[in-house]
Structure 1
């Protein structure tokens, strides 16, 4: 405890325009310590990582490594000697060998030609030093996720860094892989390496870490020994849940009758490596939530319902009609509308107009004999602009000139253009302001009120509050089901895998 902290951050403030991403937060990680940083989405974790790794300069506050001020901005080599981050998505170059990845951009500083035998020998020595059993001549793309992580850690340590940030390191690992990773991390801790561990799976915090820090709404909430914080207390610190606030949080609306027609049904639906067999039903007039953190399988489930992924087993029906597995056109024809997770990459053609984007799924209705008449396209688009209150100069405005909230309304407009029986929306309010969130969720709620059905796949609590029922997924399994009126603490606990499998006032006919 007398040694200088591996990293000490104090009073860190960071703004991005009007958004306050960090509000005077602090963090201290000691040598040889495994320190967890947890919090809900938007808490400020990723922004702090960008500050600690030199990607962003704080607007206020100080950062020191081992008692010395952080390197100057832009001094990449100095930052690499202090800290490294191993992200959920591997940063190795897949077509290079392990040895080439380990010494990328530093093969031999004093020679114009690379001595490949010496490079592989140095790689073997480095891997052996940290107990990484990987052939230096193997291509990185042929390694397992676990092996790629070990290679990244070894590369970071070879620069002299003794602080490693692990951002969701277990998201793509199975149980045995997680145990091997944790065993290796404990060995490195005994050598004085410090780890900042970021994870949505709270049980892993208790399995690996000695200290935990909680951020909420860009502020520091708690730092304490893990052994002194009960799981319920940790979840409460993350959510800020209080009984007085609960009553007004959930959308008002009549309960869905138990005898209401089943619109969407999935029976023993399974996708290997993503989610185990799942049964679910969505009834007429109902909004079903599918909640889950990273690697829970909820996004894959939503994409499977919409036809983007082909299930390994199981059946999907819409109003009794079987949907062809893995077929987007067949899902559209059967009556499934879809709002993708990433509107920029999956939802919009950014250099085209609002009208063109809003009518992509109904081109067959815009003219005779397979033609598309511009007048019909603009007229159709004007109707959805009016109905969804899209703020635009007109149907011909490029969609990339709209705000994020209005772009998302265009994506939803296209999904609703064919008047689907069921709308499947994945994180429908991601990256939009509070007012736009309310409007977008109101549109989804309106689909159910019109006598159709909707599924919201999200880890955002505000998204899930408009739902009549919520299924919570953890590691590909439905672990709990909630009726309206759930508490933040109960739902987050289920999503984080710290609750037993059980039903919470579950409605009949839905989930498992």
Structure 2
């Protein structure tokens, strides 16, 4: 039986730089096919060529038995290809029904048939065990529900192929299992799924075969059951995993034991934060752990002056003076990489150079004129130092992979020579190879004396990176772990059952 999709010899260049080099992708009918690779490997470019967002330079695409070249995502959707993107691309002010039925509205006697559309929206969402008021605006619901609406919309087009790009990034464990159940329903109905994820557990749980890409090429295609996790990771990285782990080792001996650069005591903000304490020393990576809603992001936003605390003490660099706005924190020597790099980090249509020097601009300007020579010098220095992969500094940052966008944001703050760097989910949505590079860079910076305060929802990551961890639960600090107590079991126990005495036990 002929495959549903065959992409052969796909080539694509941007500004003369190869993004795809004879890339291949073959998906069978009724198959869940994993597409993986480091950020910048070419996954997104290959998908965008398939769906008509980009035009290929050369190569052949055959879909459902016919050679195709789609000129737009709408044309690809009309042919039976639905795409669910990591960033939710719906209309927040419109109702749930309008978002699900957008572009294929039902009509009766020339008028919109709202009763039929509401019924269809409810029926699609019921497949995810979601029972919500479909008349309400999409923005009234949390991100996880919005993600499910996006998936329901894609399924509603009765697609032959559904492409899921990091579909679980906003979902909790129960919601992920529901999604996997729907994927298995699609497979049983003969629908194919391309599943893009950096989470290995998900790949082995739901995928039949895998295509691994590296440097714009397809380097391996294999059944998931025949590929060990070690082989998968080393193939994706193009190097031995032991090398990555060696680069990622903690440098506990570099921790400065002098007075803390940051000390937070009894912080309270509204209902979400009710008694948070933590501190960071120069040269130390401190982790903030906790479940969703524990108060981690709210606490660091208050430290950075983005939100005003109700009570509590924040002492930075020996001063108790409150940061009334982020500009105060930046002048004092803080940097902050927020969780949502798309919304609060990068400015997508500006260049790599402009994004990197954004915070530094006041220092580069004299009487309103920017010192272009100094700007280029700084940008070139940090592109080289952080290994940022771009065609040139004037390339738009939205064209870079997620890992390289994150490096630009790190460089934005590092060129300010900060005393403290706050990182909220610094590796979210980037692959294992880019994660290793980012974490290795963070450790290198701490080794040079920079204080680092890091939030991460991935326990393995925060345990590997941090020399000390403060665990938050229900808006309070319930445990302070260091030394041998820095392990996943201790963190999970504190998240589930932690109370103030845990902090004393950590020092005992």
Match of residue 234 from structure 1: 232
Match of residue 7 from structure 2: 9
Q: Distance in 2 between matches of 1:305 and 1:192?
A: 52
Q: Is the 8 A contact 1:12 1:62 kept in 2?
A: yes
Q: Residues 319 and 115 from structure 1, CA distance in 2 versus in 1: closer, same or farther, beyond 3 angstroms?
A: closer
Q: What's the offset of the Cα at 1:166?
A: 0.8
Q: Distance in 2 between matches of 1:34 and 1:319?
A: 53
Q: Distance in 2 between matches of 1:477 and 1:249?
A: 16
The worse-fitting range, judged by mean Cα deviation, of 87-96 and 41-50 is 87-96
Q: Is the 8 A contact 2:260 2:281 kept in 1?
A: yes
Q: What's the offset of the Cα at 1:70?
A: 2.2
Match of residue 374 from structure 2: 385
Q: Distance in 1 between matches of 2:359 and 2:416?
A: 22
* CA deviation profile, 1:4-23 (whole Å, cap 9, x unmatched): 32322112111111221111
Match of residue 161 from structure 1: 159
Q: Residues 356 and 82 from structure 1, CA distance in 2 versus in 1: closer, same or farther, beyond 3 angstroms?
A: closer
Match of residue 80 from structure 2: 82
| Structure 1 gap ranges (5+) | 364-372, 392-402, 409-425, 485-499, 504-510
Q: What's the offset of the Cα at 1:157?
A: 3.6
Q: Is the 8 A contact 1:215 1:222 kept in 2?
A: yes
Q: Residues 430 and 355 from structure 1, CA distance in 2 versus in 1: closer, same or farther, beyond 3 angstroms?
A: closer
Q: Distance in 1 between matches of 2:309 and 2:226?
A: 43
Match of residue 475 from structure 2: none
Q: What's the offset of the Cα at 1:163?
A: 0.9
Q: Distance in 1 between matches of 2:183 and 2:48?
A: 22
Q: Is the 8 A contact 1:127 1:154 kept in 2?
A: yes
Match of residue 218 from structure 2: 220
Q: Distance in 2 between matches of 1:241 and 1:305?
A: 40
Number of residue pairs matched? 432
* CA deviation profile, 1:350-392 (whole Å, cap 9, x unmatched): 9x9x9997464x89xxxxxxxxx965x66xx65993895569x
Match of residue 404 from structure 1: 393
DSSP 3-state at the match of 2:41: coil
Q: What RMSD in Å do the two structures reach over aligned CA positions?
A: 5.5
Q: Is the 8 A contact 1:38 1:199 kept in 2?
A: yes
Q: Is the 8 A contact 2:268 2:309 kept in 1?
A: yes
Q: Distance in 2 between matches of 1:349 and 1:75?
A: 25
Q: Distance in 2 between matches of 1:81 and 1:225?
A: 28
Q: Distance in 2 between matches of 1:205 and 1:265?
A: 41
* CA deviation profile, 1:83-113 (whole Å, cap 9, x unmatched): 1111122233233333323332343578543
- Give the TM-score of the pair, scaled to structure 2: 0.65
Q: Distance in 1 between matches of 2:125 and 2:358?
A: 54
| Structure 2 gap ranges (5+) | 381-391, 447-451, 468-486, 491-505
Q: 1:273-422 to 2 correspondence within 5 Å? A: 283-284=281-282, 286=283, 306-308=304-306, 317-321=315-319, 324=322, 327-332=325-330, 334-338=332-336, 345=347, 358=360, 360=362, 375=367, 385=374, 389=378, 404=393
2:202 to 201, 204, 210: 204
DSSP 3-state at the match of 2:55: coil
DSSP 3-state at the match of 2:203: helix
Q: Distance in 2 between matches of 1:99 and 1:247?
A: 47
Match of residue 150 from structure 2: 152
Q: Distance in 1 between matches of 2:319 and 2:20?
A: 50
- Give the TM-score of the pair, scaled to structure 1: 0.64
* CA deviation profile, 1:378-411 (whole Å, cap 9, x unmatched): 6xx65993895569xxxxxxxxxxx737999xxx
Q: Distance in 1 between matches of 2:288 and 2:440?
A: 11
Q: Distance in 1 between matches of 2:25 and 2:309?
A: 43
